[in-house]
Amino acid sequence: MAVGTFAVVAVAVLASLFMAWSLGASSNSPPFAPAVGANAIPTMRAAFLIGVFAALGAITQGGSISETVGTGLIDGVSFTPLAAAAGLFVSAVFIALGVRTGYPLPAAFAVTGAMVGVGFALGGDPATATYRRIVTFWVSVPFVSGSVAYATATLLRHDAVPETVSVPLLGGFVGFVLANVDLTVIPGPATTVAGAVSALVGQTPTLFEGYDLVMVATSAAMGVAVFVSLQRTMARSLDAGVKRFLVGLGAIVAFSSGGSQVGLATGPLEPLFADFGVPDVTLLVLGASGILLGAWMGSPRLLQAVSREYSQLGVRRSIAALVPGFLVAQAAIALGIPISFNNIVISSVIGSGLVVGSGGVSKRKIAFTLGAWVTSLVSAFASGYGLYALLTTVTGIR
């Protein structure tokens, strides 16, 4: 490898680490924001847990998003080391600005805009079908997550349903879903806990395509286990049980955020690492390391911004804000769609806050944030295109 090419590769890897650090400080922060806002956990402890769980999620669930960002955004060309470095640098700068100003910018918008801009500068063709899928998902997120959060918060506040039933039921539902999330660390063809148990037991009656009786039983068993555990805890102390569930949800959502976000940092390097024959897991570990450090070093500021400035949440509305975050993130991972956790959690926070009226929601800041999101997508596209064109002109390297 020529010295100049090696230097560009090194810069691209450093840019990926910088991007992962920015994600850990920004987009991986919101999952614990409701717990911090409800005083269920101190800010610094939340930052520590964000780093640990997001890094684990990055390694075990990050492959699908990484592939989409690395090979699915542009047709006809592959990202070169210089293109990857330019796109990642632009993206990280936008996200770091969000951390600095306290207005969290959606990482998926910045990365997608920058990498598409770089891809166009490379001479690639638009991946129209991919853009259609991504935009449809993005537009749906605020409505889906906000609506689910609103409905969940309404249930938790309903006088006819005691909290000793409603909260454990939500926990049981989360446990059921957890049995069916993809985990690349599971050996064999099955990639979920339910699928792995089914493979061990052997063939059983299929209830519908890809889902047999053992998978249903395993999922139900996990749901029941969580339900019983929560109910027993709440029987001893209602407040402690609810807050424990809130922190547990934060950990699960942080895990999901790592899986859905790491690909934004590692995706542009996928073609490069594939050429060198480096295993995919190595790239995910690299991104997970950056996320871990970013969460520990930079997330407290965004935790405060999201938890206290958008809506003054209680513990129950905070739970309602996290449930749709978990569901939407896992859907994005399954579909391989890059998604912003700021978008998901902020929408959920607002939806759950509207249960008691709009007085606790800062309309001015919401409007400003939405404008900043759209601006970041367009600006990242233009900046990615311009920076790569400038670098190729100055260095002569493509």
Mean pLDDT of 236-241: 84
The pLDDT assigned to 311 comes to: 45
**Nearest-angstrom CA–CA distance, 69 and 128:** 14
| Strands in the chain per DSSP E | 74-75, 125-126, 206-208, 211-212
Residue 211: strand pairing partners: 208
Residues 6+ apart with CB under 8 A from 224: 172, 175
The pLDDT assigned to 310 comes to: 44
Tokens standing for residue 246: 């809130």
pLDDT band at 361 (very low <50, low <70, confident <90, very high): low
Residue 338: closest CA among 90, 47, 91: 91
With vertex at residue 106, the alpha carbon angle to CA 377 and CA 180, rounded to the nearest 5 degrees, is 125
Mean pLDDT of 345-369: 67
Residue entry with tokens 């934060």:
250
Mean pLDDT of 338-363: 70
Tell me the pLDDT tens digit for each residue of 239-292: 888 888 888 998 998 999 899 889 999 998 888 887 777 777 888 999 999 999
pLDDT band at 146 (very low <50, low <70, confident <90, very high): confident
pLDDT band at 62 (very low <50, low <70, confident <90, very high): confident
What is the 3 state secondary structure string of 303-330?
HHHHHHHCCCCCHHHHHHHHHHHHHHHH
Q: What is the DSSP string of 258-283?
A: HHHHHHHHHGGGHHHHHHHT--HHHH
Tell me the pLDDT tens digit for each residue of 22-46: 888 877 777 787 778 777 788 889 8
Do residues 305 and 368 make contact, with C-beta atoms less than 8 angstroms apart? no
Of residues 320 and 74, the one with the higher pLDDT is 74
pLDDT band at 75 (very low <50, low <70, confident <90, very high): very high
Mean pLDDT of 196-203: 86
| Pick from 49-58, 72-81, 83-92, 335-344: least confident | 335-344
Tell me the pLDDT tens digit for each residue of 83-136: 988 998 898 888 777 767 766 677 888 899 999 999 999 999 999 999 999 989
Do residues 338 and 112 make contact, with C-beta atoms less than 8 angstroms apart? yes
Tell me the pLDDT tens digit for each residue of 296-340: 988 887 777 666 654 456 677 778 878 888 999 899 998 899 987
Phi then psi for residue 7, to 5 deg, are -65, -40
Q: How many Cβ atoms are within 10 Å of 310's Cβ, its own excluded? A: 25
Do residues 29 and 230 make contact, with C-beta atoms less than 8 angstroms apart? no
The pLDDT assigned to 359 comes to: 47
**Nearest-angstrom CA–CA distance, 89 and 304:** 26
Residues 6+ apart with CB under 8 A from 126: 74, 75, 116, 120
**Nearest-angstrom CA–CA distance, 309 and 43:** 15
Specify burial of residue 291 (Cβ count, 10 A radius: 0-12, 13-18, 19+).
buried
Mean of the per-residue pLDDT values for the chain? 84
Mean pLDDT of 350-359: 65
Tokens standing for residue 196: 């792995």
